[in-house]
Structure 1
Amino acid sequence: MNERITQLLAQMAALEDELRSAVHDQESRMFFRIDGKRVEFERSVREAHLKLKKNVFRWLVTNRPQNLITGPVIYGMAVPLMLVDLCVTLYQWLCFPIYGIGRVKRGDYMVYDRQHLGYLNAFERFHCTYCEYANGLMAYMTEIVARTEQYFCPIKHARKILGTHARYNRFLDYGDAADYEARLEAFRVALGKDR
């Protein structure tokens, strides 16, 4: 990887850290604090949230019909998602120790905090929990597969692709065969430090 790309990646990492900090500062102004896994709002905010909460009957009557009609299709995906979750988790628990790859921590990706929002009714909370699970699962799986790719084949594609994982930009350039085996081993050793 050339020096310019290394510098740009370092700048991107610094900007991502700065963005996370700015978002955190903005969230801090929303009058809540995190106590372990629990989010606690100030009393005035909790009261305001409860005033905005739509009761279940009103929500059902005013909800878009297409949302209610497609609900079974959306929630029918729960079984395949849980099956994939089980398979990917077993895969990393069985194979990563053999390869010397640090395991991906599920709790870093599975975050369930929207149930603390007082303005959501029971159906909305259920929807949020489902989306938190599905999106968290996709991020969790992406990291597991990214670590696997880094171990076996850390080479970029010839064509530009959308939606690459965080490790991809540091992979070897397509067609760059110089010292491939040594550099592949360096990628593998680095994975052992991701614990």
Structure 2
Amino acid sequence: MTTELETLLNKMKALENELLEELQKQQETFAYEIRKRKVYFEQNAIIRNKAYIKSLYLYLKDAPLKHIISAPLIWMCIFPALLMDATCSLYQWVCFPIYGIPRVKRQDYFNFDRAYLDYLNIIEKINCAYCSYFNGLVAYLQEIAARTEQFWCPIKHAGRLKNLHSRYHKFIAYGHAAKYRSDVQLTRHDFKDLE
């Protein structure tokens, strides 16, 4: 029997898929296609896009001083990010097989397609790559953490959460002691939807 929560989650997933389909329609509007994770623009689009590139001189000249001064602070975050990336990747490669948890596919979370935009200068492309890496890393780590939480503590919280991760719908209701004791082992290993 489908619960109201499962019905809502299914509706959310359907809307998310509809949103992704709508976003894919941009390929036609802006004259590009994606093949094997690489973006290909039509020649006319490339010419049109290059007309909008901002020279490095103008880019730096127009940059507010506070942005230039704060840039090193932003870029300092790369060191703990790389360490976290390496640590969590090693963790899932070693521990997930021990626990019977499917590994998170790294490539599903990182997308560096902004490098194909001809209207970005080199600084903008580097900044976009940094943001793509960082946001991809956060999503990748969240999925590793979600699968870990499903295995070790698959209990919903009593309080409201701002964001729900991908595995939360599998968790057992807060306060439902009997269901926890009867279903915890099944819930820990319920990764069929990932296969």
TM-score interval, normalised by the smaller of the two chains: over 0.9
Paired residue type of 2:34: I
Residue 2 of structure 1 and its aligned partner are, at CA, apart by: 6.8
Superimposed CA distance per residue, residues 102-131 of structure 1 (whole angstroms, 9 cap, x where no aligned partner): 000000001111010000000000000000
Paired residue type of 1:164: L
- Specify the alignment match of 2:110 in structure 1: 110
Please list every run of 5 or more consecutive structure 2 residues that lacks an aligned counterpart in the other structure: none
- Specify the alignment match of 1:32 in structure 2: 32
- Specify the alignment match of 1:58 in structure 2: 58
Find the residue that maps to 1:13 and give its secondary structure. helix
Q: Does 1:133 align with 2:133?
A: yes
- Specify the alignment match of 2:157 in structure 1: 157
Compare 177-186 and 105-114 and name the one that shifted more. 177-186
Find the residue that maps to 1:179 and give its secondary structure. helix
**How many residues are matched?**
195
Superimposed CA distance per residue, residues 43-94 of structure 1 (whole angstroms, 9 cap, x where no aligned partner): 1111111110001011100112111111111101111100000000000001
Q: Identity rate of aligned residues, in percent?
A: 40
Residue 166 of structure 1 and its aligned partner are, at CA, apart by: 2.1
Paired residue type of 2:172: L
Compare 185-194 and 50-59 and name the one that shifted more. 185-194
* Aligned 8 A contact 1:102 1:192 in 2: no
Superimposed CA distance per residue, residues 123-149 of structure 1 (whole angstroms, 9 cap, x where no aligned partner): 000000000000000000000000000
- Specify the alignment match of 2:69 in structure 1: 69
Paired residue type of 1:66: K
Residue 28 of structure 1 and its aligned partner are, at CA, apart by: 3.2
Q: Does 1:44 align with 2:74?
A: no
Q: CA RMSD in A?
A: 1.6
Superimposed CA distance per residue, residues 11-53 of structure 1 (whole angstroms, 9 cap, x where no aligned partner): 1111211221122123332210112132111111111111100
- Specify the alignment match of 1:177 in structure 2: 177
- Specify the alignment match of 2:17 in structure 1: 17
Separation (CA, whole Å) in 1 of partners of 2:63 and 2:10 = 46
Paired residue type of 2:66: Q
State the TM-score, normalized to the length of structure 2. 0.94
Paired residue type of 2:4: R
* Aligned 8 A contact 2:81 2:134 in 1: yes
Please list every run of 5 or more consecutive structure 1 residues that lacks an aligned counterpart in the other structure: none
Separation (CA, whole Å) in 1 of partners of 2:59 and 2:86 = 34
Compare 139-148 and 171-180 and name the one that shifted more. 171-180
